[in-house]
A = this chain, B = another copy of it.
Amino acid sequence: MKTIAFDVMGSDLGVKPAIGAAIKILTEKKDLKIILVGNQDEIQNELDCNGKAKKVADRYEIFPTTETIKMTDGILEIRRKKNSSMVKALEIVRDDKANGMVTGGSTASFIAGSHFILKEFEGVSRPGFMPTIPTVIKDKIVLLLDVGANIENDPNDLLNFAIMATAYSKSTQGISNPLVGLLNIGEEKSKGKDLQIQTYKLLEESPKINFYGNIEPREIISGDVDIIVTDGFTGNIALKSIEGMGKKLLSEIKKSVTKGFFRKLAALSLKPAFKEVAAKFDYKNHAGAILLGVQKIAFKSHGSSDLRSFHATLRMTYDAISNEIDKKLEILLKESEGV
């Protein structure tokens, strides 16, 4: 049995989509248990309204908490609100009462809480958020990090990201020698800010990773590499640019192909074709990011997560637990003599 501690409070859309997603994944995965951490009345109320909850009632429990970390809360609140759902979810994982945790709450609080409660692997000074990004190659995803756990990073952080993501890729994707790219504004090694120029040298020299070179933002979804490292600010800009363009372009096409009767008719028969592409590049299906670098499995879902986003994040967490990512990472990082 796998257990997820799920902080159902603190995200933009409230408890409802979180509970809906929990019941959905419990229905799908028979070897999964979820600890719903949050306000008992709100959770119970949602469970009572959910027709499918009864069928999986033996595999969820409520862990009642009295405080909530707000979206605007930061580092201080994680220390002050000791009975908040986020702190408790982190503690449940720390104490091995769950195999992983998920939250949709404040990023700043989550980063701080993970640091204080879960701790980093030895040698890792800064963990990074790592979502999986779909590429144009069938069934191939690319791991991009950091996308916002940090605002500033140094070259050593980026080398750490590369080493950790390499271990992750090996253990979850079975890629024997994953290719690592450095996100940059040009291909040449002289391109970019001092961070990129110094990082290029470190990555090039490191025997612990398989370095591809610089990769331009145009090629993020090309599938040329398995891992792309960058600082948290740049990664966040790139990720959100791609997400926004994907979403808006698909909606523009939808508008255009349904303009007028004849187009609508033709579009109808192409619906499966559009759905294929839309589903692949719908970032709601990739809404979660693991916080890579902490000793336990901890996932952040978009602050504005709806049922589908939370469900996708819970599924990713389930997969990470099934793969025992935390234990494999620990072993692989030790084998490569730390990060």
Contact = CB atoms under 8 A, between A and B. Distances in A.
B244 A221 contact: yes
Contacts of A257: 270, 273-274
11 contacts: A136-B248, A151-B193, A185-B236, A216-B240, A217-B241, A242-B242, A252-B280, A257-B270, A263-B269, A266-B266, A266-B270
A276 interface: yes
A275 to B, nearest CB: 9
Interface residues of A, number: 51
Interface of A: 72, 136, 148, 151-152, 183, 185, 188, 192-193, 216-222, 233-234, 236-238, 240-253, 256-257, 259, 262-263, 266-267, 269-270, 273-274, 276-277, 280-281
A218 to B, nearest CB: 3
Interface centre among A249, A252, A267 (most CB of B within 10 A): A249
A233 B280 contact: no
Contacts of A185: 148, 233, 236-237, 240
A253 B253 contact: yes
Closest 9 CB pairs of A and B: A218-B244, A241-B241, A217-B240, A217-B241, A245-B245, A266-B269, A256-B273, A185-B236, A257-B273
Nearest to A185: B236
Nearest to A281: B249
A277 B263 contact: no
A272 to B, nearest CB: 8
B269 A237 contact: no
Contacts of A248: 136, 221-222
A263 B275 CA distance: 13
A249 B250 contact: yes
A270 B243 CA distance: 25
A161 to B, nearest CB: 17
Nearest to A278: B253
Contacts of A274: 253, 256-257
A227 B134 CA distance: 30
Given A136-B251, A192-B151, A256-B274, A183 B244 contact: no
A277 B274 CA distance: 14
Nearest to A280: B252
A249 B241 CA distance: 13
Nearest to A263: B273
A86 B144 CA distance: 38
Nearest to A250: B249
A106 B152 CA distance: 30
B217 A237 contact: yes
Contacts of A262: 269
Contacts of A267: 266, 270, 273
Contacts of A246: 245, 249
A249 B256 contact: no
Contacts of A240: 185, 216-218
